[in-house]
Chains A and B, each alone.
Chain A
Amino acid sequence: METDLFLTPLVDGLLREVLDAPDTLFGMVEALGSPLNLVAPRQIAENVARYRAVLGKHHLGGGVFFAHKANRSSALVRELAAGDAGVDVASLGELRHVLAAGFSGDRIMATGPKDADFLWLAARVGAVVNADSREELAELASIVARHRLPAVRVMVRLSAFDSPGVRVLSRLSRFGVHARELGAVLDLLDAHRDELDLHGMAYHLDTNGLPEKAAALEGCLLAMREAAARGFAPTAVDIGGGFGVNYLVDQGEWERYTTELSNAVLGARSPMTWQNHGYGLRAEAGTLRGALGVYPSHRPVAGADYLDALLDREAPSLGRPLATLLLESLYDLHVEPGRALVDQCGLTLARVAEVRATHAGDTLVRLAANSRDISMEDHAVLADPVLLPARPAPVGPVGPVGVYLSGNLCLEDDLITRRKVALPRVPVPGDLLAFANTAGYFMDFAADHALMQPIARKVAVFRAGGAWKWCLDDQYWPVKGDR
């Protein structure tokens, strides 16, 4: 194992302290089972403050809406309910969950595919409905009229924008209406002024490319103008999320790793992945083809800083910085970070169940968890876990090793990582591995009861009286801990 192939995970804040007290963690896994998820609810409030600071720096009003789908934790949304953030819900279940967590309807944004029952409850509690299509708006209008509900604030989700000069291509989205269909949407809103109140325009692009987002934001501004010309008074632009997370400590490690991965795919070095899996890369006649389909695990500009960089960008045709255009036009800016808002808000513990050597000489470490419990691999986020040795420390060969991590399902593809992760030594059964920063999508998004394996329990950790304490996620309310 080359020692320079570490991908050291970034662990910050309270979770750093938690990892420094492994005795408690062993006790928790003993009692609650493996895998075990930890969330740090106070961290999410600090993350909200960072977005607020960016909005404040640009003098912009508006809201920070947590994209709930990133994590099902009750502790996290209850903590948010205690502050000034909003929440973005994408299902009836999520809407009910946040209402029970203490959110009032006016702080809720309903997005995604919506059935009639979801639309009714959203309208009933006064949530903003971020509409995906003309058909959805028509259905919402009819529900509001039929049930004599007050007018609902709606946003129109736009997708596919025209860009001047250079054509900036974007992936086709199954959500939203084309900017050129706006006229027809405004006709519909015009016909339902008693039921639908146009709050603003929205986009959400699944990309980390700033130019695409700048073109989309400008597209929203132009749509706002068109709506105003039609006699509407929209006040807010919603730019969704996708601001990104930095998972790694060191950029150099990331660069070395990805370079070596290309070399491995080209056959220029020993494989670093299960069956020399290329993460989208392949070798054709000595040339590297395909694209490295992994998350950019080290990101120098992520989260609130990414938002700041977007707002500083000039609008492609209107010519002034996007933040200036929003501010001058008196528009509020709504953002909906999911993954980025739960940055450093959680980690996942799993117990080492078995360690074996394969015929080919690789070390395969089986965990009491599976690739759905810890779905980093699904999202191709590459970061090493942290090894927490069982006490007393076992004797054995010391020195960095690369090992594959497999799961507890009776399935060939249940590999928690398809790459060798770097550990300071070969683990032994009973050790714990801590996967850092799993709160955004990797914790419970895909977890299920396949093979009747247990789903991870979730606990909330918080500071109380100078130490940290924990309780079951469901037992956490914002009255707990120091504030």
Chain B
Amino acid sequence: MKYDSILDVIGETPLVRVAPDVHGLRNIDLYAKLEMLNPFGSVKDRPAWNMAREGLSQAVERGDSIVELSSGNTAKALAVIAAMHGLPFKSVTNRMKVPEIKDLLLLLGAEIEELPGQTECLDPTDTEDPLTRMYRMLTEEGSGYLHTDQYFNPRNLDAHRGGTAPEIVKDLGGRGPDIFIACVGTAGSSTGVAGVLREHNPAVSVVGLVAHKSDFIPGIRNIDEVNEVGLFDPANYDTIESVTAQEAIDGMLTLNRRCGMLGGPTGGAAYFGAVRHLKEIDETLTERRTAVFIVCDRVESYMSYVRQRRPELLRQPPRADSVDTLTDAEAAAAVSVDVAAAREWIERDRPLVVDLRGSFAYSALHIADSVNIVDEIFDELVRGGLPFGSSRPVLLVCPVGEKSARYAALLAKLGHRDARSLRGGVVAWRDAGAPLVRD
């Protein structure tokens, strides 16, 4: 297919059936609306473009900045749109919780401001919500901003009313699904789609999914936070259910591994919530039903999210020649020398002194003539073999002598003949009054 602009590629995403042996439902056909296939990677491409396009030409004329309260996909899409049109984009957020998105936003040239955390000694006058704070900032700084206002802007809903929903209805032969399951973030996709589906099938049941209160799932608000969203109206949903972060990851794994749909945790939450909800009604059904959920974005941006909550999924087998795989006996066999002995040894045999601390600390103070190889770099070096001759005497130095002892043991295991560790490390060296220099 040929397009004139990447912006024309937004929308017309596929609706793909999830195989029955994956979800195990006997009477329900379950379809995934793959919003992750939008050009900037998420369902937010639609509202971002729909909200920004209005007023864009004036903004370009005046050189305004686009601003939005977002730490995720809306910011990503707006950052691209702003950059394409030569406009600055500024995102204001409570906290950037997904480091990959943060880096991507910076890469796209966005400016990000994180708002302060809650005060510890309570200030009862400080009860501004981020959005009010943003409105105030926009007022104080006068014009020069195009604020897309995703939590209140009806063009957010319109993007789904005019796009996402009709596409689903068309792909299902004009009637629309019997059950629609959507995660509630800005409530744009769930409300916008649900409204149109009801017009085609008044009996459609709409399930809104929110995050479990103490959990964080990207793009989904918890049961309290949805109340802060202007577009959210509980009457739009037949039921509201909550999903935990662990359940979202479970759902995501099924999508990724069994369905070949590389959706992120938001889509995973939608899948998990959908199947949990549908299992209950499946038993009671006598005729076939159709259900649709949205896969909102892609998995690649959520590796640190997964690592934090399910590290075992990303665990690599321990490497053979590393400090982590030393046996206790090997570690205990490390040769350590105290400060006096080390000084005498340096004087006599001039061993290579390797300082394993970070460069910040090394550049401030170190043992004269030592070489700084930061531990993580030393790790890499040793993986390929000894980084110096096996008979070259080496004194390893770290802050307190624990790490250096393990590295000395590792070098010995690799065949080095005279690697020693400074007992007590630089701390002991300083405490003994031995000289430290700053070059």
Contact = CB atoms under 8 A, between A and B. Distances in A.
Note whether A and B form a binding pair: yes
Interface of A: 59, 165-171, 206-212, 221, 225, 228, 241-242, 244, 251, 255, 258-259, 262-263, 266, 279-281, 285-296, 300, 318-320, 324-325, 327-330, 339, 378-380, 441
B393 to A, nearest CB: 24
B414 interface: no
Q: Interface residues of A: mostly helix, strand, loop or mixed?
A: loop
Given A290-B127, A328-B358, 14 more contacts: A59-B400, A166-B96, A167-B113, A171-B119, A206-B119, A206-B120, A211-B117, A228-B438, A279-B127, A287-B227, A291-B128, A296-B118, A330-B365, A379-B121
B95 interface: yes
Given A293-B126, A380-B124, A167 B114 contact: yes
B116 A169 contact: yes
Interface string B92-114: 00011000001000100001111
A389 B367 CA distance: 69
Contacts of B232: 287
30 contacts: A59-B400, A59-B402, A59-B427, A166-B106, A166-B114, A169-B113, A207-B117, A209-B116, A225-B360, A228-B364, A242-B121, A244-B120, A251-B214, A287-B228, A287-B229, A289-B228, A290-B127, A290-B129, A291-B129, A293-B122, A296-B118, A318-B360, A328-B357, A328-B360, A330-B361, A330-B426, A330-B430, A379-B122, A380-B122, A380-B124
B324 interface: no
Contacts of B399: 59, 324, 327-328, 330
Nearest to B223: A259
Contacts of B430: 330
Nearest to A327: B399
B118 A289 contact: no
Is chain B's interface secondary structure helix, strand, loop, or mixed overall? loop
B112 A166 contact: yes
Contacts of A242: 120-121
B132 interface: yes
Q: What's the interface size class on B, roughly? A: 35 or more
Contacts of B214: 251, 255, 300
Contact of B361 (A209, A292, A329): A329
B307 to A, nearest CB: 14
A279 B127 CA distance: 8
Given A207-B119, A228-B364, A296-B118, A258 B128 contact: no
A327 B400 contact: yes
A59 B96 CA distance: 31
A58 to B, nearest CB: 10
Interface in B238-289: none
B63 interface: no
Contacts of A266: 227
A258 B222 CA distance: 12
A165 B102 contact: yes
B434 interface: no
A209 B117 contact: yes
Contacts of A165: 102, 106, 112
A330 B120 contact: no
Contacts of A319: 358
B114 A168 contact: yes
A259 B224 contact: yes
B77 to A, nearest CB: 19
A291 B123 CA distance: 12
A236 to B, nearest CB: 14
A266 B232 CA distance: 13
Given A259-B213, A325-B358, A290 B132 contact: yes
A286 B233 contact: yes
B228 A288 contact: yes
CB-based closest 5 A-B pairs: A209-B117, A280-B127, A328-B361, A328-B357, A288-B227
A441 B117 CA distance: 21
A422 to B, nearest CB: 20
Nearest to B106: A165
B230 A287 contact: yes
A166 B102 contact: yes
Nearest to B430: A330
B129 to A, nearest CB: 5
Contacts of B332: none
A320 B228 contact: no
Nearest to B229: A287
Contacts of B227: 262-263, 266, 287-288
A290 B133 CA distance: 10
B115 interface: yes
A318 B358 CA distance: 9
Nearest to B427: A330
A242 B102 CA distance: 27
